[in-house]
């Protein structure tokens, strides 16, 4: 009888241990289900999965911005940055016309695309894009005839909540327009230019359209080397005029400062 009781006791202990293990396993499974339901990661995400997610985001982003490109145009360039200091990444689209009559022969008798370019500025409103400003034809083609030199190269820069349209002209210098968003459009508030002869700066111009002051710095030693540059400054007070809107500039090549 005592031997029988020992056997019963041993079987009871084994059953108790097995039940505890099963409950512990179930508890872990329930915890994993809880993590999944709350959006937490149960296992590390592999590199391929991350790349796939990034690819999906980029495809979705392209699909969103293409909705803003008008018929007869294509995307030429896209620049991202915060343009109104709200913490959301905004978007600037440079677009280009696709007209057949924009393809012409140059002086080399080669066909080049002379279709004009434009700009669309999109504000990111908590994940939804809205048009802040647009101008479909304000830039000439990147294939314009530069004469004895190449045509200026247009660059778009977003810095400190401002939009800069920067024309690079190699050894001959550069010029740049600064826009800031106000009054429901991007207003031209500044202009900078540098006329160079290689490394030597011949003339610099800086205009602040808010204070209406223009600075002109002339190199009085233009035939010298870079280390011999010496500038004389002329300060010009400008007349009060309405600020130019990005959406209303017909042609940057013809814009007078």
Please check whether residue 164 lies inside any domain of the structure: yes
State whether residue 8 is helix, strand or coil: helix
Select the more confidently predicted residue: 148 or 243.
243
Please check whether residue 160 lies inside any domain of the structure: yes
Please check whether residue 247 lies inside any domain of the structure: no
State whether residue 250 is helix, strand or coil: coil
pLDDT, one tens digit per residue, over 183-195 is 999 999 999 999 9
Calculate what percentage of the chain has a pLDDT beyond 90: 65
Please check whether residue 2 lies inside any domain of the structure: no
Domain that includes residue 160, residue range: 65-237
C-beta of residue 222 within 8 angstroms of C-beta of residue 200 = yes
Given this model, what pLDDT does residue 145 score? 83
Select the more confidently predicted residue: 202 or 20.
202
Mean pLDDT of 35-60: 47
Instruction: Give the range among 35-44, 50-59, 105-114 with minimum mean pLDDT.
Output: 35-44
For the chain, the distance separating the N- and C-terminal CA atoms, rounded to the nearest angstrom, is: 113
Q: Which residues contact 215 (CB under 8 A, 6 or more apart)?
A: 204, 205, 206, 207, 233, 234, 235, 236
Select the more confidently predicted residue: 122 or 42.
122
Please check whether residue 128 lies inside any domain of the structure: yes
Per-residue pLDDT at 8 exceeds 70: no
C-beta of residue 139 within 8 angstroms of C-beta of residue 118 = yes
Per-residue pLDDT at 20 exceeds 80: no
Please check whether residue 90 lies inside any domain of the structure: yes
State whether residue 93 is helix, strand or coil: strand
Specify the number of domains making up the chain.
Answer: 1
Given this model, what pLDDT does residue 108 score? 84
Please check whether residue 251 lies inside any domain of the structure: no
Q: Edge-to-edge strand order for the sheet containing 90-97? A: 73-81, 90-97, 117-125, 128-139
pLDDT, one tens digit per residue, over 134-181 is 999 999 999 988 767 778 999 999 999 999 999 999 999 999 999 999
Per-residue pLDDT at 11 exceeds 70: no
Given this model, what pLDDT does residue 49 score? 56
Among the listed residues 106, 115, 31, 45, the one whose alpha carbon sits nearest the alpha carbon of residue 73? 115
In which band, very low, low, confident or very high, does the pLDDT at 27 lie, cut at 50, 70 and 90?
very low
pLDDT, one tens digit per residue, over 50-73 is 455 544 445 445 547 889 999 999
Please check whether residue 13 lies inside any domain of the structure: no
Mean residue pLDDT across the chain: 83
* Distance, CA of 239 to CA of 242 (rounded, Å): 10
């Amino acid at each position: 009888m005592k031997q029988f009781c020992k056997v019963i006791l041993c079987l009871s202990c084994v059953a108790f241990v097995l039940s505890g293990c099963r409950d512990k396993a179930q508890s872990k499974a329930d915890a994993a289900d809880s993590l999944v339901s709350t959006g937490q990661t149960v296992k590390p995400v592999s590199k391929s999965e991350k790349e796939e997610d990034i690819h999906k985001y980029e495809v979705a982003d392209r699909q969103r911005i293409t909705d803003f490109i008008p018929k007869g145009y294509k995307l030429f360039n896209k620049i991202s940055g915060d343009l109104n200091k709200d913490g959301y990444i905004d978007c600037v689209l440079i677009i280009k016309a696709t007209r057949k009559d924009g393809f012409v022969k140059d002086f080399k008798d080669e066909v080049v695309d002379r279709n004009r370019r434009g700009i669309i500025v999109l504000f990111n409103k908590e994940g939804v894009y809205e048009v802040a400003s647009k101008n479909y034809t304000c830039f000439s083609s990147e294939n314009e005839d530069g004469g004895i030199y190449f045509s200026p190269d247009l660059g778009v820069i977003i810095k400190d909540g401002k939009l800069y349209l920067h024309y690079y002209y190699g050894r001959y210098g550069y010029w740049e327009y600064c826009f800031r968003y106000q009054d429901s459009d991007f207003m031209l508030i500044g202009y900078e230019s540098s006329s160079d002869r290689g490394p030597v700066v011949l003339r610099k111009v800086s205009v602040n359209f808010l204070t209406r002051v223009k600075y002109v710095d002339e190199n009085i030693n233009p035939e010298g080397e870079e280390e011999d540059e010496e500038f004389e400054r002329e300060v010009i007070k400008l007349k009060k005029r309405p600020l130019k809107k990005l959406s209303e500039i017909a042609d940057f090549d013809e814009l007078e400062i």
